[in-house]
Amino acid sequence: MKILVTGTAGFIGSHVALRLLARGDEVVGFDSLNDYYDVTLKQARLARFADHPGYTHVTADLADRAAVEAVFAEHRPQRVVHLAAQAGVRYAAQNPHVYVASNVTGFLHVLEGCRHHGVEHLVFASTSSVYGADTAMPFSEHQGTDHPLTLYAATKKANEAMAHSYAHLYGIPSTGLRFFTVYGPWGRPDMALFLFTKAILDGQPIRVFNHGRHKRSFTYVDDIVEGVIRTLDTVPGVDPAWRGDAPDPASSGVAPYRIYNIGNEHPVELLRYIEVLEQCLGRKATMEMLPLQAGDVPDTEADVSGLVAAVGYRPVVDVEEGVANFVRWYRDYYGA
């Protein structure tokens, strides 16, 4: 099967591409290799599979309509995994136009490519951030998402609505996955685990927001990849059980569209996360306790029962194993 994967130089995208290639799929990778963070890390991710005979890479920007149209026209992918986006919840406050160009305009170009080239299934990345100010735990797809707290979350909520409209109007089978705090080897340098590891090894204090009173559904990247690929292989149709008088946001009934949480069902306290990291590094952290940041939420907890029922997804890597794997990778990659 030929699959277009956007964001193949990114954290999750590189892992997904590698797994698809390993099982024998052809992968067309699309990534702009922008300088939001260390480009050499992105290049190193690509180097793991760039020479694979089943891999073709395209360096271009999703906001470039002609470039996206050309990829679909030339390569004719059967399915699409859309993971590329301008990442970073807080960065949006400084560069809002970049988020809309990449996450909204870029996604429109992907949808148009799927529409005009008969794509069998589009799987796209959303985020747990769409739950915004909601405090009901665990987060379920049946909850409303009308109050996003950041522009990043707003762009992802827009993606969900756009995908549903295209599924309804043009019959494009589409599935959105709301990721919950993904971590692991080859992760992003702007994420907490990466920042904490570097600071502890450098003998610098770590910045702990909300005075450490966070709880997160930390989800190991291999568990995410497993869920993404199982979802890709399960093409949604119209749900015959849906009733017009009882709309279900996870199953529209009038369109081949689904939305699911994908994350770890067992949230971990941030201070426990840091404790595990200290044990793996063999060093204690000096913590600078700070208040909750604007746009951040104290807790996340994933209800993944929908994805369990649909594709048999069940995360298996606990935080102790996952953090240890990250630390081993970090020491090897940076010689730390």
Note the pLDDT tens digit of each residue in 225-247.
Answer: 999 999 999 999 876 655 444 44
Positions of E strands within 209-289: 215-216, 219-220, 257-262, 268-269, 287-289
Q: Which residues contact 232 (CB under 8 A, 6 or more apart)?
A: 3, 79, 81, 121, 123
Q: Which two tokens stand for residue 170?
A: 């043009």
ω before 138 within 30° of 0 (cis)? yes
> What pLDDT score does 73 carry?
98
Question: Which are the catalytic amino acids?
Answer: 152
Q: How confident is the model at residue 265 (pLDDT cuts 50, 70, 90)?
A: very high
Structural domain boundaries of the chain? 2-182+221-265+302-315
**How confident is the model over 10-25, as a mean pLDDT?**
98
pLDDT value, residue 40: 98
Write down the CATH number for the domain with range 2-182+221-265+302-315: 3.40.50.720
The per-residue pLDDT for 214 is 86
The predicted pLDDT at position 244 comes to 43
Edge-first strand order for the sheet with 257-262 is 55-59, 26-31, 2-6, 79-82, 121-127, 174-179, 257-262
The per-residue pLDDT of the chain, averaged, comes to 93
- Residue 267, pLDDT above cutoff 80: yes
Angle among Cα 59, 62, 64 to the nearest 5 degrees reads 90
Q: How far apart are CA 188 and CA 11, in angstroms?
A: 6
Residue type, 333: Y
- Whole-prediction pTM value? 0.94
Query: Is 158 a residue whose pLDDT tops 60?
Result: yes
* pLDDT class of 326 with cuts at 50, 70, 90: very high
Q: Kindly report, residue by residue over 305-323, the tens digit of the pLDDT.
A: 999 999 999 999 999 999 9
The share of the chain scoring above pLDDT 90, in percent, equals: 84
Tell me, what's the pLDDT at 250? Answer: 52
